[in-house]
Structure 1
Amino acid sequence: MRILNICAYTWQSGGPPKIIFDHTEVVLRYGHQVDILSPISPGEKPYPVPDGARLILCQRTPVISRFFREFSIELYQYLQQHVHEYDVIHCHGLWHFGTLAPFMIDRTVAKVITIHGVLDRWVYAHHNWKKQLMDTLAQKAYLQRADLVQINNSDEQDDVLRYLGHSHSNIVIIPNGVKVSDFTTLPSKGNFRQKFGLPTDKKLVLFMSRLNAKKGLDLLLPGFRDYVRQYPDTVLALAGSDDGYEATARQFIDQHNLGDSVRMVGMLTGDDKKAALADADLFTLPSYSEGFSMAVLEAMAAGTPTLVSDRVGFGEVIRKHEAAGLLAHLTVESVTIGLEKLLGDDKLRQRITLNAMALVKAQYDIDVVAKQLLDEYSKIVRSK
């Protein structure tokens, strides 16, 4: 098959590029062709591309793309010229120009849309007037026309039903996956602390995600403040690129004199990310909304115990799988209590680590989930 993924394939885009990268490595091993079509702006850094795949970059159209997200005349022109070279076009997210354009141009090539959590009530409520305008123009109709809608969990099934007003004719739950082998061997403990000047005699709590309002930093920062007042032998590392919340976070840290207890280390990649997971006593993401958090999945694969909200995309699975992580409510007090419970109980963290690693290996290894999606591609291509 010839497969085209359409996504803002940059480091600034969060989880989808990583998901596409890992899936593509598996799909290429099965002998298929994969291209990735991405809008990009000056200054953005493209995400790495697996050997054998092709990345096609299209400049966002100035001015218009500020209001119509990802708008790119170059992207539209590429699709006009090449759309029929593909068997499957896979669009990632909604309300992006790259999700609309293939439907505007063609009715014959099989099309897939992955929701990536954007129909969650919390997410949908933000910039809602723009979304309602695009829904009126085309988005709902195009989602209905998709040959396959991929969702990550049963909550997203409810979200699609609420959004469309009825069920979609072909919707399938396929979770995100992680390349478990990437986390078999981690950097030696202490590397991350040494590189970023973090104390070696304090426990380390790690937040590693975009600095965005939806990630629950308004819960984590005051929750950690209350915790560290009682247990000053702990440091919180905030690792992630700014996505609108860095200034607020810095203001909170300064206002509450947390400079020695909270460190901002920027976005981590490659060995630095693995070193952070190896050094951390606890990973936390009290997010308001995630389609299916790759950051949490990677922490679990690395053997780092997790304190997360039940909105990370697979909270119920974590809850049911013999406590593969600790779930916090979306309150400051719950975050504080979670920190106290986990950081105060070494045996509980060890038990969570073992349960989480077993869960990831059994259900979320990339070889398993990528093959599921590939099989769904084959079904819709045969049906066209």
Structure 2
Amino acid sequence: MRILNICAYTWEAGGPPKIIFDHTQVVLRYGHSVDILSPYSPGEKPYPVPEGARLILCRRTPVISRFFREVSGELFDYLRKHVHEYDVIHCHGLWHFGTLAPFMVDKQVAKVVTIHGVLDRWVYAHNQWKKKLIDGLAQKAFLRRADVVHINNTDEQQDLLRYFGFQHPNVVIIPNGVKLSDFAQLPPKGLFRAKFGLPTDRKLVLFMSRLNSKKGLDLLLPAFRDYVRQHPDTVLALAGSDDGYGEATRQFIEQHNLGESMRLVGMLTGDDKKAALADADLFTLPSYSEGFSMAVLEAMAAGTPTLVSDRVGFGETIRQHEAAQLVELTPDGVRAGLERILADDALRHRISQNATALLRAQYDIDVVAKRLLDAYTKVVKKP
């Protein structure tokens, strides 16, 4: 099969590029070809491309992309000229030009759309006027035509039902996966603390995700402020690119004189990310909404105990397997979670072991990617 992924394939885009990267590595091993078509703006850093795949960068259209970010005339021209070279076009997300354009130029090639959690009530409520405008123009009609609508969990099935008012006939539920072998060997403990000047005699809580309002930073920051007043032997490292909440985070730290207890360390990649997970006593993500959090999967794969909300994409499974400590989405709820899990070494060890077993059974990338590949095969148009 010849597969085209359409996604903003940059470090700034968050989880989808990592998902595409991991899936592509598996798909290439099966002998298929993969191209990645990505809108971009000057200054953005493309995500790494698996060996054997091809990245096609298309500039966003000036002026228009200030309001509708992913609009790219180059992307549209590429599709118009090359769409019939592919067997499957896989679009990632909704309400952006890359998900609309393939339906505009073609009715023959199989099309797959991954929702990535954007129909969640919390996400849908933001920039709603743009979403309703695009829905009215084309989005709902095009999504009805999708050969496969890929969702990560049953919560998204309900979101999809609420969005359409009926159940789409071509839905597959396949979770995200993680390449467990990437985390089999972690850097020695202490490297992350040494690089960023973090104390070695204090417990380390790690937040590692984009600095975005939906990630629950408005809960975590006051919760940790109150926690550290009673437990000054703890430090919070905030790792991630600024996605709209960086200034609010810096102001909070300054306002409450928390510079010794909260550290902004920027976006971490590669060995720095693994070193952070190796050093952390706890990973936390009290998010309001995730399609299926890669950050949580990676923390679990590294053996780092996790403290998360049940909105990270597989909350019910986490609850059933006691694979993380779940928290209520309030500052008091997050603080209570910190109190419980950081005081109990045995609990942290138990949920870490449970998470590892869960990942091996259900979320290994080889298993997950093969399921998506099978979904492609079923809808590819025969010549």
Q: How high is the TM-score relative to the length of structure 2?
A: 0.99
Structure 2 distance, partners of 1:349, 1:340, is 12
1:67 CA displacement = 1.0
Query: What amino acid does structure 1 have at the position aligned with 2:344?
Result: D
Other-structure match for 2:374: 375
Matched, 1:266 2:266: yes
Matched, 1:192 2:192: yes
1:382 CA displacement = 5.0
Tell me: CA distance 1:289–1:383, structure 2 relative to 1, closer, same or farther (3 Å): farther
Cα deviation 1:323-360 (Å, max 9, x = unaligned)? 11000010000100100111100010000110001101
Structure 2 distance, partners of 1:207, 1:23, is 25
Structure 1 distance, partners of 2:382, 2:223, is 52
Other-structure match for 1:315: 315
Query: What amino acid does structure 1 have at the position aligned with 2:338?
Result: L
Matched, 1:339 2:338: yes
Tell me: CA distance 1:378–1:153, structure 2 relative to 1, closer, same or farther (3 Å): same
Residues 318, 325 of structure 1: 8 Å contact kept:
yes
Residues 39, 60 of structure 2: 8 Å contact kept:
yes
1:187 CA displacement = 0.2
Moved runs in structure 1, 4+ residues, more than 2 A? none
Structure 2 distance, partners of 1:152, 1:131, is 21
Structure 1 distance, partners of 2:281, 2:381, is 49
Residues 19, 176 of structure 2: 8 Å contact kept:
yes
Query: What amino acid does structure 2 have at the position aligned with 1:103?
Result: F
Residues 90, 114 of structure 2: 8 Å contact kept:
yes
Structure 1 distance, partners of 2:29, 2:381, is 21
1:69 CA displacement = 2.3
Q: How many residues align?
A: 383
Other-structure match for 1:68: 68
Structure 1 distance, partners of 2:345, 2:191, is 22
Query: What amino acid does structure 1 have at the position aligned with 2:317?
Result: V
Other-structure match for 2:36: 36
1:383 CA displacement = 6.9
Cα deviation 1:13-62 (Å, max 9, x = unaligned)? 00000000000000000000000000000000000000000000000010
**Partner secondary structure for residue 241 of structure 2:** coil
Other-structure match for 1:253: 253
Other-structure match for 2:353: 354
Query: What amino acid does structure 1 have at the position aligned with 2:17?
Result: P
Residues 117, 289 of structure 1: 8 Å contact kept:
yes
**Partner secondary structure for residue 38 of structure 1:** strand
Query: What amino acid does structure 2 have at the position aligned with 1:263?
Result: R
- Segments of 5+ residues of structure 2 without an aligned counterpart are none
Cα deviation 1:184-213 (Å, max 9, x = unaligned)? 000000000000000000000000000000
Cα deviation 1:142-185 (Å, max 9, x = unaligned)? 11100000000000000001001111111010000000000000
Residues 110, 381 of structure 2: 8 Å contact kept:
no
- Segments of 5+ residues of structure 1 without an aligned counterpart are none
Other-structure match for 1:206: 206
Residues 22, 178 of structure 2: 8 Å contact kept:
yes
Residues 108, 381 of structure 2: 8 Å contact kept:
no
Cα deviation 1:225-275 (Å, max 9, x = unaligned)? 010000000000000000000000011111111110000000000000000
Structure 2 distance, partners of 1:72, 1:233, is 50
**Partner secondary structure for residue 237 of structure 1:** strand
Query: What amino acid does structure 2 have at the position aligned with 1:280?
Result: A
Structure 1 distance, partners of 2:162, 2:268, is 36
Superposition map of 1:222-241 within 5 A = 222-241=222-241
Root-mean-square deviation (CA), in Å?
A: 0.7
1:68 CA displacement = 1.4
Superposition map of 1:36-185 within 5 A = 36-185=36-185
Structure 1 distance, partners of 2:96, 2:49, is 21
Query: What amino acid does structure 1 have at the position aligned with 2:18?
Result: K
Residues 227, 339 of structure 2: 8 Å contact kept:
yes
